[in-house]
Amino acid sequence: MVTNTISVSETPQVLYALRRADDALILGHRLSECCGHAPTLEEDMALANIGLDLIGQARALYALAALREPSLEDGRANTEDTYAYLRDVGQYRNLLLCELPNGDFGRIIMRQFLYSAFIDPYWRAMMKSSDAQLAAIAEKAEKETAYHLRYTSEWVIRLGDGTPKSHDRMQAALEFLWSYTGEMFDTDEAEAMLQAEGMIIDASAIHDGWRTTVQTILDRATLTLPQSAWMQKGGRSGRHSEHLGFLLAEMQQLPRSEPGAVW
């Protein structure tokens, strides 16, 4: 296979946009894997819809990264597609949570719920960003994630409080995913700079509200919040699970096999 991996000049603004874009793309990609295979036609459409929203958000954020990235030495500029298709695993900046394999419908729903309960208030707060473009992206994304949160909350309740079997599956999904939730609230020096400028908010400020939302829905779903406090991390700095490489191998195969081609 021809390798034509790009290099990226990760200024704080570019890094920030790529992290959020990668979350959305990788999670959207995972949801797109379900298309045609969901438990009912209605859920097939709903998961595709959420996937489409996330891929759309990723595209807006990659476009922003491309605008903010200093041009390369040869004058070329990166695009949404070079970011998506021509970066290697270690260059991806998404949360580990987003790259985990789907598992059953219960785990898909639980992963989406845990993420949506974070990202919806996150985008709502980001609508006040001092950066007009980020504020506009946040405003559009929040309308979508509000629905994702409502949809997944309803399913968490329905399945948690459904049958003994569905309850056990949802509790197992929650236990499996729990240690991947901490990374959502992490922040680092690059982000601290942008926070100081009022461009982005501090993700850790979302934590208490997120925890309340999660607890409320889990109570209604008769599910129990896991006790484990240990949290996995690494995605934000390019240290991923084994799963992302397989996802990218599948996703990137065609453009990498024909460098420079237009599709």
Q: Which two tokens stand for residue 253?
A: 């195969």
The answer to the question of residue 121 lying near other proteins (CB under 8 A) is no
The answer to whether the CB of 235 falls within 8 A of the CB of 94 is yes
- In the complex, least distance from residue 74 CB atom to other proteins, rounded to whole angstroms: 21
233 vs 256 by CB, closer to other proteins? 256
Instruction: List the one residue from 1, 2, 3, 41 that touches other proteins (CB under 8 A).
Output: 41
Query: Which span (6-14, 44-52, 94-102, 192-200) binds other proteins, by CB under 8 A?
Result: 44-52
Cβ–Cβ under 8 Å, residues 46 and 151: yes
**Closer to other proteins by Cβ: residue 41 or 132:** 41
Which residue lies nearer to other proteins by CB, 192 or 249?
A: 249
**Is residue 242 packed enough to be buried (19+ CB in 10 Å), middle (13-18) or exposed (0-12)?**
exposed
Q: How many residues of this chain bind other proteins (CB under 8 A)? A: 49
Instruction: Give the Å distances, CA to CA, from 61 to 54, 144, 147, 208, 262.
Output: 11, 15, 20, 26, 21
Residue with Cβ nearer other proteins (34 or 200): 34
Cα separation values, 209 from 122, 185, 214, Å = 10, 12, 9
- Distance (Å, whole) CA 116 – CA 122: 9
Nearest C-alpha neighbor of 52 from the set 24, 92, 94 = 24
Distance CA 252, CA 263 (A): 13
| Interface pick for other proteins out of 127, 136, 172, 251 (rule CB under 8 A) | 251
Of the candidates 6, 52, 172, 193, which one interacts with other proteins according to CB under 8 A?
52
Q: Which of 49, 102, 133, 179 forms a contact with other proteins (CB under 8 A)?
A: 49
Q: Whole-angstrom Cα distance, residue 217 to residue 209?
A: 13
Our finding on whether 35 is near other proteins (CB under 8 A) is yes
CA distance linking residue 208 with residue 77, whole number of Å = 40
User: CB of 51: closest distance to other proteins in angstroms?
Assistant: 6
Q: Taking CB under 8 A as the rule, does residue 263 contact other proteins?
A: yes
Tokens of 91: 């260059």
Question: Per CB under 8 A, which of residues 84..103 are in contact with other proteins?
Answer: 84-85
Q: What is the binding site for other proteins (CB under 8 A)?
A: 25, 29, 32-33, 35-45, 48-49, 51-52, 55-56, 58-59, 62, 80-81, 84-85, 104-106, 157-159, 161-163, 165-166, 169, 250-251, 253-255, 258, 261-263
